[in-house]
Amino acid sequence: MNTDAFRHLYGYHFSENRIMWDRYVAQMSDEQFTQAINYSLGSVQNQIVHLIWVDDVWFSGLRGIALPEPLHPANFPNRESIRAHWDVVEQNMHNYLAQLRDEMLFEKPLEGEDENLAVWQVLLQVVNHGTDHRAQIFRVFSDMGIKTVSQDYIFYAYDNP
């Protein structure tokens, strides 16, 4: 286990988020994007705002800064504002990952209920959480008749050795 492996795994995470956005979300009608769904967190918009916020919370904790307040979909007037905020969160994640060193993976920088988690565990949690919610969003796409592609990590690994 080393930081290069985690940077590779995050390449997958960022890539799959971008594919989901560019291929599907950006092409949806506003009605589809905000449609109330009786599944998981509701609309595609709600799911994506949740994904962004959770990534930001975990990485804020890793960076030792104040945790952000929960994001509310209603505070984003359009998809462009969501994408702009997501880009900032991802850039902060990239910046953290760029300075990550192998010995940091075993540190326990968090407080409260997460105080016993090592950095490597948090990093795995964030990617796993993203995969889970993308799968939920893809299920919504399927219910809407939108055909999607696999988000399996292995396909990313084949293309990014």
Q: Return all residues near 27 (Cβ < 8 A) that are at least 6 apart.
A: none
Q: So what's the pLDDT on residue 96?
A: 98
pTM here is 0.93
Instruction: Give the residue extent of every domain in the chain.
Output: 3-159
Tokens standing for residue 157 = 């690994």
pLDDT digit string, tens, across residues 15-60: 999 999 999 998 899 999 999 888 777 799 999 999 999 999 999 9
Q: So what's the pLDDT on residue 38?
A: 81
Q: So what's the pLDDT on residue 39?
A: 74
Q: So what's the pLDDT on residue 115?
A: 95
Which top CATH class is 3-159? mainly alpha
Q: So what's the pLDDT on residue 121?
A: 98
Low-confidence ranges of the chain (pLDDT < 50): none
Q: So what's the pLDDT on residue 28?
A: 92
pLDDT digit string, tens, across residues 26-36: 889 999 999 98
Q: So what's the pLDDT on residue 41?
A: 78
